[in-house]
C-alpha cells in the first residue's frame, strides 16, 4: 500500500469553492498517479479551521467514488500556518515504489512541501 499526498488552497470559505478545489485536487492526484478508485483503500481529508462550508469528501462522491471509504477531519490550529487549506491522503493499494508516487500541491499549498519538488516527486499547478 502507498500513500499519495495532496493539498490545495481554497479561495473562499464557500461550499462551491471547497468542492471545486477538492475535485480539481483529486483529479490531479488521480491523473499524476494513474489511480483507479477501486484501488483506493481509503481517502482522508483535512481542512484548516477556517473552512467549514462543506465536507471535502462530497467532492469525491461527485466524481463517482461511491465505494471508497472517506473521512474528514479538522487540522490542528498552528500559529502562522497556511490558511484555507484542504489536505488529502489517499491510501492506494498498488505495488509501486514510494519514490514513484507523485504528490500534488496546488496554489499556495505548493510551499508546504518544497522538498518534494526539489526531489522531483511533487507536482503543482
Active site residues: 5, 61, 72, 75, 87, 105, 113
Distances (CA, A) of 89 to 1, 14, 57, 80, 105: 12, 22, 12, 23, 12
- For residue 64, how many C-alpha atoms fall within 13 Å in the half-sphere facing its CB? 5
- Judged by DSSP in three states, 42 sits in strand
Residue appearing with cell numbers 509501486: 96
Task: Check if the beta carbon of residue 71 is closer than 8 Å to that of residue 45.
Answer: yes
Amino acid at each position: 500500500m502507498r500513500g499519495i499526498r495532496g493539498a490545495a488552497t481554497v479561495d473562499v470559505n464557500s461550499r462551491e469553492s471547497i468542492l471545486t478545489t477538492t475535485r480539481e485536487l483529486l483529479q490531479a492526484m488521480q491523473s499524476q498517479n494513474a489511480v483507479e478508485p477501486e484501488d483506493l483503500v481509503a481517502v482522508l481529508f483535512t481542512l484548516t479551521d477556517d473552512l467549514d462550508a462543506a465536507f471535502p469528501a462530497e467532492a469525491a462522491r461527485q466524481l463517482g467514488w461511491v465505494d471508497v471509504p472517506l473521512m474528514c477531519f479538522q487540522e490542528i490550529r498552528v500559529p502562522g500556518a497556511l490558511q484555507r487549506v484542504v489536505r488529502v491522503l489517499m491510501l492506494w493499494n498498488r505495488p509501486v515504489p514510494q519514490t514513484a508516487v507523485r504528490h500534488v500541491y496546488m496554489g499556495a499549498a505548493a510551499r508546504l512541501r518544497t522538498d518534494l519538488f526539489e526531489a522531483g516527486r511533487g507536482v503543482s499547478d
